[in-house]
Amino acid sequence: MFDVHVHAAPDVLERIGYDDQIGAGYAAAGYSGFVLKAHHESTVGRASALSRSSGLEVVGGITLNRAVGGINPAAVLSALSAGGRLVWFPTADAHTQESAGLPRLGDLDHRLDRSVLSVPPVLSADDPATKDIAFVLDLIAEHDAVLCTGHLSREECGWLLDQALARGINRFLLTHPSYTVPGMEVREIAEFAERGAHVEITAYQLFHQPGMTAARLAAVARAAGSRLVLASDAGQPDSPEPPAAIEQLIAALTAEGLDSRQLRDAADETPRKLVLR
CA-CA distances (angstroms) from residue 178 to 55, 190, 205?
A: 33, 11, 8
Predicted TM-score (pTM) of the model is 0.97
Distance of CA 49 to the CA centre of its chain: 21
- The CATH-assigned architecture of domain 2-275 is Alpha-Beta Barrel (3.20)
Going from N- to C-terminal start, the domains of the chain cover 2-275
Convert the pLDDT of each residue in 147-194 to its tens digit. 999 999 999 999 999 999 999 999 999 999 999 999 999 999 999 999
Convert the pLDDT of each residue in 49-98 to its tens digit. 999 999 999 999 999 999 999 999 999 999 999 999 999 999 999 999 99
Mean pLDDT of the chain: 96
Phi, psi of 229 (to 5 degrees): -125, 125
